[in-house]
Structure 1
Amino acid sequence: MGKKSIELIVEECGDSPKQVQRYIKITELIPEMLEKVDDGSMGFTPAVQLSFLKKKEQKEMLDAMEFAQCTPSLSQALRIKKLSADGKLTVMDMEDILSEIKQKEIDRVVFKTEQLHRFFPVSYTAEQMRREILEMLKLNMNKYWDE
């Protein structure tokens, strides 16, 4: 699509030229992949990156997503795109990358300092409490491992 066509679409729909180019690029996805974007199971931006893969690689990517039971994050999609561009992408790479724990999937345990103060001397800082908690957990773990 030419620059003039993109400018007309931008004028018509109000999206940025870059966004219009993304919409156009995403049409290069195989139908099964596009369906994942349409049903909301895959993000638009990672999908744009996957649209750079060859059709065969996109089909393999679908299998890898089935294997890993997830869709790629943007950073994973970018790494997969780079491997493909370098001619080094394998199904194993796709599966390995998709099987990584995504940052947002890492659960955090958070305590408010007020919740912990009743278990520590008033003079303890948050850092002192953190260290003490980790030390207690370590001792507790060692106790169970010794049994």
Structure 2
Amino acid sequence: MTKAFTQTQAASRLPTLPGGWPISSYDTYKQAQQAVYHLADNDFPLEGVAIVGVDPLLVERIDAHLTWRRVLAAGAMSGAWLGLFVGLLLSMFTAGSGMAPIAIGLAAGIATGMASAAMRFAPTHGQRNFASHSQLVAGHYDVLCQPPTAERGRDLLAALALRSA
């Protein structure tokens, strides 16, 4: 392998802006995806077609209000699963031990899970007392294609829009 080939390979993996002309715009990703399906169904060359999310937004959706009771209960539940698993493993490899390894593993798992959850929640001092998840969404989605096929793509998607309306 030559050095130039390796640099070209590395450069092709870097994120780049899409090229081409916008041929249609949609409010949702699903609509843009359906537009690309329509292009494919009409034997449109999909090489160089891109769906681009425009006006990106970071949306944080709140799942639950966190209280000490909820935090400790969730910690106990996750610790219980881990403790039960460890207890079952110990009981399989300890001859004649009965249920003692399972009970010890379960109790240790619950205690460890609660302690771990409390150590993560305590430093927030109530400033971050909710659970959430974040999503990256776009304000709208443009379908782009290369200039030589842009006019045909625009015509196909305009026909789809007329049929949908």
Give the TM-score normalised by the residue count of structure 1.
Answer: 0.21
Give the TM-score normalised by the residue count of structure 2.
Answer: 0.19
The structure that is helix-richer by fraction is: 1
The structure that is strand-richer by fraction is: 2
Higher relative contact order (CA 8 A, sep 6+): 2
